[in-house]
Structure 1
Amino acid sequence: MSNTLTPEQKRKIEENRLKALARRAERLAQGNPQPLQNDLFSSKQQQHASSPTPQPRPTAGPSKKYTPPLPSHRNNPQPSTSRTATTSGPSASSKPPEVKPDASKGTFKANSFYGQNQGLTAQPSDKKTPKPPDTSSAGPAKKPTVSVRGKCVPHTEERFRVEVGYHAELIAVFKNIPSRNYDPVTKMWNFSLEHYKLLMEEAAAIPFVTLKALEGMEGLEISPGAMVKGKCTLISRSRLEVDIGYHADVIGIFKQMPSKNYDMKTRKWSFLLEDYGRLLEALNDISAVEIEPLPRAVLQAFSSQFEQSHSKAAEVPEADLSAVDSTLTRSLMPFQQYGVNFAVSREGRLLLADDMGLGKTVQAICIAAYYRKEWPLLIVTPSSVRFTWAEAFRRWLPSVAADRINVVVKGKDSLRSGLVNIVSYDLLGKVDKQHLANPFGVLIMDESHFLKNIKTARCKAALPLLKAAKRVVLLSGTPAMSRPAELYTQILAVRPTLFPRFHDFGARYCDAKQLPWGWDYSGSSNLTELKLLLEESLMLRRLKSEVLSQLPAKQRKVVTVTTDGINARTKAALSAAAKELANGRHNKMQEKEALLVFFNHTAEAKIRAIMEYISDMLECGREKFLVFAHHKKVLDSISKELTDKGVNYIRIDGSTPSAERQQLCERFQFTHQSCVALLSITAANMGLTLHAADLVVFAELFWNPGILIQAEDRVHRIGQTSCVDIHYLVAKGTADDYLWPMIQEKMNVLEQVGLSESNISDKAECSSFHSKDPKQQTITEMFQRSFSEEDMDESVLLEAVNDWEDSEHTNSRPQENHFSASPSKKRRIEDYFSK
């Protein structure tokens, strides 16, 4: 059994020892018939001015030494500090200042109580706090010097208690506090907050007694003329909170408000917005109180709430969409329908901040269609998805002729030649400025967080358009990537009257600090109020978790990319391969060889578009996603791009040893940093679990939909708690034109027999890739015939693809006829396809 005492046992021993010493001192004091008064203390001090300094009596510690008292002082016991506690009342010199109530307000005067940096005027008391006599010359002491430490803690809404060990003189102070209350159960004293300052001043005058201040009320010194400063903050759409230090008059006003509520955890008062006017007026009448009111933007956004507060927002009226194409309105999910209604209720000006995969594009098209009479329409978007927007309009709004959709490709192109005009952020500042004279009526800004820096060229080019447009729809799944300051330009675009000056916004929500070189707006403050303000005035945001019941397990989307910008050699090779296929004068083996060449040149032509799309995903804040590709050249190009950008990624292809695959998967799954998983379609489509991501990007297509489904399921598997987004990058004018319809058709067959969960042709956001051109139909039939035969060995085809890719690196210039390869190469291809 250990002899070590617990802290509690030590505390009890110390407390009992102090009590015993106090009782002994009382007995000694009772044996002395002379009264103990301040004048006696003074005379004793003079009488023994030359006496040696008394030594304390030994205590329970080996380091304490005891010096016996001198005989001449044997009959002169030292004054006991416990004598004050045993008298019937405090002496004249120890009487505390009397606190008189303010008759006009029914509460105590402000200058009688505590306030930290608050501006309460501290008036010195006429009375003197009792102090123990100076016994430096009164002979040896018979009571040891004991240090007592305690703390003040909240007790109830308006009271605090003192947790401290026994000290006789401190108990005497407690008994002199008018609001004192002793709890015999806890053996602790508690007091009203009104007397906090008084108690702390009295306790500070007792030697060797230390009380830790009440949290939030540290510091007792109050400079004359200082102010009690506070701030009003919105905490819900119906209530505000006042953050202010203690002031008796302020508390009195708070108690008069009908909707008052005190939070014991935060120790702050809150009120309904309908009481805000009366509250602010009453607080402004107190000269020593300075309150920061709610910002003008909050008053503007919640104007109806200040008349009569409601905890729930008013119902959003249903918009009349009868003039919008039924193809679009019938496809809207309930939450998407609500998004359109919300936009109409905000007069077509909003920030749609839905999570990725919730269909912001289709909602924006429907909102724009509602205001079709105000077109022309301008869509500003990242370069990689310009043609995806064009395809979406062709699919969802068939009433808009295809030739009325204008995609700006070069800086010299007109921005107003179509009814629907689509331009990238990079080209917006380069196009002709004629659009400023005749502004667009409706404007959609996709990935609007691209405007976060007001100093960039893209932002300077966009702001005049946003200012002139009557309807503005901003789309972003991540409106602010890291700090509130990034929201300002988007707020300015939608509701310019909320915060005309950036400094007003920065001071309230960016924790603005003035430094020697200027203002720093990189911080954040009052974020709850900012969120409420945005939601009430301009922003609608839904997370996947909130609408998961309305979402399918997988959402497939076709992203149409362009092959613009490829070099002349690749362009010539791709064109020659397409022409050779269109001739149709080939035997079975030649068809397969031609398709194989076309497939390889497609990969090379798509590399730039793939890089651009991945960069946009990273800029949009996607932390983890998968990228599948087939050709080694594509995988190498993506690897180099990610390395150059300093992006964390893993790569699994055919050369990755089996022992390393699981380690790479675990690294992707458990890292807290952004990470991209770069995977081979054929080498990493099974046996891996990567459900830490919920986005899969197929940089290339593959002719076997079963392989694609297996690759999708690296994310869509047990443990996935979110809807999975699948993006297929499809390039016009390449082999994708023929592969994609074939994949759609095969996927339909798999779904009909229950082997696929969703139908790509129905779920993917794309228009049909089937063409009425008989030559294209012939090529499609060739793809279907070549890649669908039962006797075809797929492993042989994959080997042929890889061998062709390796061998074409030896050719430095394009071939006019891609089927005039060397005899050895041709024999190798023939061998593969004859098996």
Structure 2
Amino acid sequence: MARRGQPQTRARRNAPRQLRHGRRDDVNANVTPDVYAVLARAVREVDAALRGGRVTPATRTKFQAVALLLREERARVRADEDSSDTRRAERLKRLDGVATNLAKSAVRDSGLMALLAEDAVVSDEARSVKRDMLRTAGIEPSADELPPAEPEAAATEHRVVPRSVVSRQLANPFLAPDAAAVRPSERRPTRLATWELIGPLLSSFERAGSGATACMALPAPTSRFTPLGMELMPHQARLVAAAAAGHRTFLLADEPGLGKTAQALLAAEAAKAYPLLVVVPNVVKTNWAREAAMWTPHRSATVVHGNGDSIDGFADIVVVNYEVLDRHVGWLGDFGLRGMVVDEAHFIKNKSSQRSRNVLALSERIRSFTARPLLMALTGTPLINDIDDFRAIWQFLGWIDERKPLAELMNALDETGLTPADPGFYAAARQSVVDLGIVRRRKVDVAADIPARRIADLPVELDGAVGRSIRAAERELARRMVARYEDALALRRSGGDAVAEGIDHDLVRQVARWEQKDATTSSAGENVFSMMRRIGAAKAGLAADYAVQLARSAGKVVFFAKHIDVMDAAEETFAQQGVRFSSIRGDQTPAVRQRNIDAFVNDPEVAIAVCSLTAAGVGINLQVASDLVLAELSWTAAEQTQAIDRSHRIGQTQPVTAWRIIAAQTIDARIAELLDSKAGLAAQALDGSEEEVGSSADVQHEALVALLTDALSDAVAPAGAHSGATVAEPLWSGAD
């Protein structure tokens, strides 16, 4: 491999070949300066990041990788008996200089100092970065430094083929794509063939000034693919227009809250990219299915759970979460996919991880047999931070491979007429990458498109034993009310009173009042309060995971919950994921409370404020954040609005989004609907009216009325009919 910024020479081409044969100690002395240069540059990058005041996970990873490589190089130089004492001392002196600079950087953050310890746990990401640094220095990592190859038997041991997929294949054996239709990209002879280019391409983003564009040129908006009754925001419609015009690869890096989901679904419609595979984190899997039903109602969508026993093998859109992708990667590779969307694409940044290998393998498979597939990577992570994380994303999109730009990007770079030795190369190279399909808009950039404050519902499925227990408890509560209703009805009949045909809605409301009264005076059995508390606890981990995603993508986040156990569970999740937080609770002294508020507002490293919905919902200013997570629902719209107004207040410069986590197919969803109907959608989502419509008792009562009415309707409904709770429609276009 060539040294960055210089043509490759015969001597440099030979060095990696020697190393591949395991003769690392026999390499000539010219290799060490290359390693030194790579280390010195990495230390400068770490120091620059620390001076910028933001220690990201990628910065810590790079820091640990540098420390590992430094330690190994020092040991190798000391063991090199072929070098003279003078030469060895010179090399060690240079490495010591790098180590000193690294240590000076480490004192800026106590967490970095811990990574220098001999017994520090080395992450897979750090090992991967270290391998990349070796390759940049022209050294092929030895076999023991590479991630262990997964045995073929182990790789396929847990793979499944759902029965409906087999039925699809048998129903139409001609579904396999026509490989002859694929037009391979032609790579013209180029002056840059001997240059190392991946490093300069990444550096081109790090060198970009604050005014450099991070968005490709987009055409005028189109509404041609928007379903009747729906409306895209202008910035969303521009990306769809680009897909309609023939663009097929996108790194969609809009900030959270700008509707990436809707853009991806309608881009697939414009590109006719079906079957479409969507790979997502588990927490948003249900939301993708709901959004698909809204934005592409004429397309069938199926969600893969577990082994996929319940999926529709004939669906146009297949939604699968990262955690189960390994089981399904086999049949998905033969499904004839014409498009693939990877949501929260920074999840694949570690190319040695199983999830990354699966995603990259599917992408390569699609590109090998489909002419111009639609490939979209969705992430809210800013491009100017942690740019190394984008190697895997660029590879997924087919812009680069492990070592070099692929045809389209290489041709674009060649057309600039520049090389990495030319001063203007970096700006031109960055623009070449952006033009391939990078699209990033911030809330402040499109503020005219979106309301100043809005609520986005995020439905989640409560899986496993906890979910089954909650649904069973809800059925038990409904059965108890049904029995009470029937007893009251029988008593009326025995007394000779007239009984209404069908459901007696007056009696339903009376039974709901009895149940509501009992819930406040007795702790025996399930009631509406214990149900909501259990649902809140079950949602805690999912809500906390989503808050972490937001914090890493868009900055500070306010996390609201009603119950202490939900706050405790969320804080445990944040601690496990290495996210710093402040806790604002009702049992704190005024001094502690203010200290925690100040830490969230003033310390750039404190990413999340964990707030009690009742104790922190009034009287504090948290406008440093524009994203909130409502992990539990309030009993009143006013209480919910008060919480949102902790960020939506004077001094806030960005539109505020409140992400409301809702347990689908439970009473949680019904209460969300009731809150919206009480407050009024327009007042709640657009103009921020705080008008109180109904009390908390009203919402509790109406929730019980709805639960009993549904149970009675199910008892008399025809087989297959169901009138259970559904998730409320989103209050804006394209919640992502």
Give the TM bin, normalised by the shorter chain. Answer: 0.5 to 0.7
CA distance in 1, matches of 2:229, 2:527: 39
Residue aligned with 1:430, SS: helix
Following TM superposition, by how much is the alpha carbon of 1:584 offset from its aligned partner in structure 2, in angstroms?
Answer: 6.2
Following TM superposition, by how much is the alpha carbon of 1:639 offset from its aligned partner in structure 2, in angstroms?
Answer: 2.5
1:577 partnered with 2:477: yes
Contact 1:390 1:407 in 2 (8 A): yes
1:327 partnered with 2:257: no
Following TM superposition, by how much is the alpha carbon of 1:475 offset from its aligned partner in structure 2, in angstroms?
Answer: 0.9
CA distance in 2, matches of 1:707, 1:774: 22
1:484 alignment counterpart: 387
1:645 partnered with 2:570: no
Residue aligned with 1:612, SS: helix
1:441 alignment counterpart: 338
1:696 partnered with 2:623: no
**4+ aligned runs moved over 4 Å, structure 1:** 290-299, 311-321, 479-482, 525-530, 568-571, 581-584, 752-755, 757-760, 773-777
1:426 partnered with 2:323: yes
Counterpart AA for 1:355:
E
CA distance in 2, matches of 1:423, 1:584: 43
Q: How does 1:67-466 map to 2 (within 5 A)?
A: 316-318=218-220, 322=224, 324-328=226-230, 331-372=231-272, 374-400=273-299, 404-413=300-309, 414=311, 416-431=313-328, 433-466=330-363
Residue aligned with 2:527, SS: helix
Counterpart AA for 1:673:
E
2:731 alignment counterpart: none
Seen in structure 2, the aligned counterparts of structure 1 residues 733 and 593 have a Cα distance that, compared at 3 Å, is farther
1:542 alignment counterpart: 441
Residue aligned with 1:725, SS: strand
Residue aligned with 1:639, SS: helix
Contact 1:625 1:694 in 2 (8 A): yes
2:508 alignment counterpart: none
Residue aligned with 2:464, SS: coil
CA distance in 2, matches of 1:753, 1:696: 14
Aligned length: 450
Contact 1:439 1:468 in 2 (8 A): no
Seen in structure 2, the aligned counterparts of structure 1 residues 616 and 539 have a Cα distance that, compared at 3 Å, is same
Following TM superposition, by how much is the alpha carbon of 1:709 offset from its aligned partner in structure 2, in angstroms?
Answer: 0.3
CA distance in 1, matches of 2:462, 2:214: 51
Q: How does 1:639-718 map to 2 (within 5 A)?
A: 639-718=571-650
Work out which of the residue numbers 671, 674, 677 in structure 2 matches 1:742: 674
Greater alpha carbon shift after TM alignment, 596-605 vs 464-473? 596-605
Contact 2:627 2:658 in 1 (8 A): yes
| Structure 1 unmatched ranges of 5 or more | 1-116, 118-279, 282-289, 300-310, 510-524, 761-770, 782-835
1:591 alignment counterpart: 516
CA distance in 2, matches of 1:573, 1:776: 12
Name the TM-score, length of structure 2 as normaliser: 0.54
Q: How does 1:727-766 map to 2 (within 5 A)?
A: 727-748=659-680, 751=683, 756-757=688-689
2:163 alignment counterpart: none
Following TM superposition, by how much is the alpha carbon of 1:370 offset from its aligned partner in structure 2, in angstroms?
Answer: 1.6
Work out which of the residue numbers 537, 540, 550 in structure 2 matches 1:607: 537
1:557 alignment counterpart: 456
Contact 1:652 1:680 in 2 (8 A): yes
Q: More relative contact order in 1 or in 2 (CA 8 Å, sep 6+)?
A: 2
Seen in structure 2, the aligned counterparts of structure 1 residues 434 and 415 have a Cα distance that, compared at 3 Å, is farther
Residue aligned with 2:289, SS: helix
CA distance in 2, matches of 1:377, 1:653: 45
1:778 partnered with 2:720: no
| Structure 2 unmatched ranges of 5 or more | 1-5, 7-189, 202-212, 367-372, 411-423, 486-510, 521-525, 693-701, 713-736
Larger radius of gyration, structure 1 or 2? 1
Following TM superposition, by how much is the alpha carbon of 1:478 offset from its aligned partner in structure 2, in angstroms?
Answer: 1.0
Following TM superposition, by how much is the alpha carbon of 1:465 offset from its aligned partner in structure 2, in angstroms?
Answer: 2.2
Residue aligned with 2:243, SS: helix
1:231 alignment counterpart: none
2:403 alignment counterpart: 502
Deviation digits for residues 530-589 of structure 1 (CA, Å, limit 9, x no counterpart): 532221112111122222222211131000011112436555434322433455623623
1:208 alignment counterpart: none
Q: Where is the strand percentage greater, Structure 1 or Structure 2? A: 1
CA distance in 2, matches of 1:611, 1:312: 33
Following TM superposition, by how much is the alpha carbon of 1:451 offset from its aligned partner in structure 2, in angstroms?
Answer: 1.4
Seen in structure 2, the aligned counterparts of structure 1 residues 409 and 672 have a Cα distance that, compared at 3 Å, is same
Seen in structure 2, the aligned counterparts of structure 1 residues 686 and 338 have a Cα distance that, compared at 3 Å, is same
Seen in structure 2, the aligned counterparts of structure 1 residues 602 and 587 have a Cα distance that, compared at 3 Å, is closer
CA distance in 1, matches of 2:630, 2:549: 18
CA distance in 2, matches of 1:753, 1:570: 30
Seen in structure 2, the aligned counterparts of structure 1 residues 752 and 319 have a Cα distance that, compared at 3 Å, is closer
Residue aligned with 1:502, SS: coil
Deviation digits for residues 232-258 of structure 1 (CA, Å, limit 9, x no counterpart): xxxxxxxxxxxxxxxxxxxxxxxxxxx
Seen in structure 2, the aligned counterparts of structure 1 residues 718 and 753 have a Cα distance that, compared at 3 Å, is closer
2:376 alignment counterpart: 473
Deviation digits for residues 81-118 of structure 1 (CA, Å, limit 9, x no counterpart): xxxxxxxxxxxxxxxxxxxxxxxxxxxxxxxxxxxx9x
Counterpart AA for 1:665:
I
Following TM superposition, by how much is the alpha carbon of 1:313 offset from its aligned partner in structure 2, in angstroms?
Answer: 11
Residue aligned with 1:682, SS: coil
Following TM superposition, by how much is the alpha carbon of 1:295 offset from its aligned partner in structure 2, in angstroms?
Answer: 5.7
CA distance in 2, matches of 1:749, 1:440: 39
Contact 1:343 1:350 in 2 (8 A): no
CA distance in 1, matches of 2:476, 2:685: 39
Following TM superposition, by how much is the alpha carbon of 1:617 offset from its aligned partner in structure 2, in angstroms?
Answer: 3.7
CA distance in 1, matches of 2:430, 2:194: 19
Seen in structure 2, the aligned counterparts of structure 1 residues 707 and 774 have a Cα distance that, compared at 3 Å, is closer
CA distance in 2, matches of 1:716, 1:467: 44
Residue aligned with 1:431, SS: helix
Seen in structure 2, the aligned counterparts of structure 1 residues 503 and 396 have a Cα distance that, compared at 3 Å, is closer
Q: How does 1:37-52 map to 2 (within 5 A)?
A: none
Contact 1:379 1:444 in 2 (8 A): yes
Counterpart AA for 1:607:
A
Contact 1:446 1:474 in 2 (8 A): yes
Following TM superposition, by how much is the alpha carbon of 1:448 offset from its aligned partner in structure 2, in angstroms?
Answer: 1.1
Seen in structure 2, the aligned counterparts of structure 1 residues 709 and 694 have a Cα distance that, compared at 3 Å, is same
Greater alpha carbon shift after TM alignment, 404-413 vs 574-583? 574-583
Seen in structure 2, the aligned counterparts of structure 1 residues 542 and 526 have a Cα distance that, compared at 3 Å, is farther
Residue aligned with 1:327, SS: coil
Contact 1:699 1:729 in 2 (8 A): yes
Following TM superposition, by how much is the alpha carbon of 1:315 offset from its aligned partner in structure 2, in angstroms?
Answer: 6.8
Following TM superposition, by how much is the alpha carbon of 1:460 offset from its aligned partner in structure 2, in angstroms?
Answer: 1.3
Contact 1:649 1:675 in 2 (8 A): yes
CA distance in 2, matches of 1:578, 1:658: 43
Once the two structures are aligned, what percentage of the paired residues are identical? Answer: 24
Seen in structure 2, the aligned counterparts of structure 1 residues 432 and 581 have a Cα distance that, compared at 3 Å, is farther
Following TM superposition, by how much is the alpha carbon of 1:423 offset from its aligned partner in structure 2, in angstroms?
Answer: 0.7
CA distance in 2, matches of 1:686, 1:298: 50
Counterpart AA for 1:461:
N
